[in-house]
């Protein structure tokens, strides 16, 4: 397992703005990180915090494709997420919408870019919420834990032998 302090995840949410930025560097190529982001069989291995199980209902990572997944906890709680892919550029870029079904009508637009650092990769996700209040609700939901755990799990998956 990679030490998360080696490649920390930075989450920035400036007060008064509807934006969240997530930046993480990986000891993996852009192709490896992109594949883990777009291959349904790999996605379920890292998406979400470790204590939740992720079930993909649909996942079609292409322009116009959509996705829906449900994360379940040990107590029977279910958390659904869905969205639509707007742009998918192999090894470089994914633009998609993101909606937590528990807070309907708060759809974010997320742009994920992958930068080649010479055998390593910088992943940057910029999320735009419809309002500062919507962004703040997402933050208060505990998303920081889920993002950090997911990024650590993604690093582990991408660096397996």
The domain segmentation of the chain, as residue ranges, is: 10-158
Residues 86-121: pLDDT tens digits? 999 999 999 999 999 988 888 999 999 999 999 899
Residues 6+ apart with CB under 8 A from 143: none
Assigned superfamily of 10-158: START domain (3.30.530.20)
pLDDT (mean) for 23-38: 97
Whole-model pTM: value is 0.92
161 band by pLDDT with thresholds 50, 70 and 90? low
Residue 5 is predicted with a pLDDT of 54
Contact 98, 85 (CB under 8 A): no
């Amino acid at each position: 397992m990679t030490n998360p302090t080696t490649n920390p995840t930075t989450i920035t949410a400036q007060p008064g703005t509807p934006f969240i930025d997530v930046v993480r560097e990986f000891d993996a190529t852009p192709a490896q990180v992109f594949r883990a982001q777009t291959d349904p069989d790999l996605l379920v291995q890292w998406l979400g915090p470790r204590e939740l199980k992720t079930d993909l209902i649909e996942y079609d990572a292409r322009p116009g494709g959509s996705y829906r997944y449900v994360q379940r906890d040990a107590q029977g709680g279910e958390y659904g997420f869905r969205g639509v892919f707007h742009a998918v550029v192999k090894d470089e870029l994914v633009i998609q919408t993101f909606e937590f079904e528990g807070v309907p009508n708060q759809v974010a637009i997320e742009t994920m870019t992958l930068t080649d650092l010479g055998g390593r990769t910088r992943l940057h996700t910029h999320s735009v919420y419809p309002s500062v209040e919507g962004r703040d609700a997402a933050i208060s939901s505990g998303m920081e834990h889920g993002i950090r755990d997911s990024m650590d799990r993604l690093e582990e998956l991408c660096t397996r032998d």
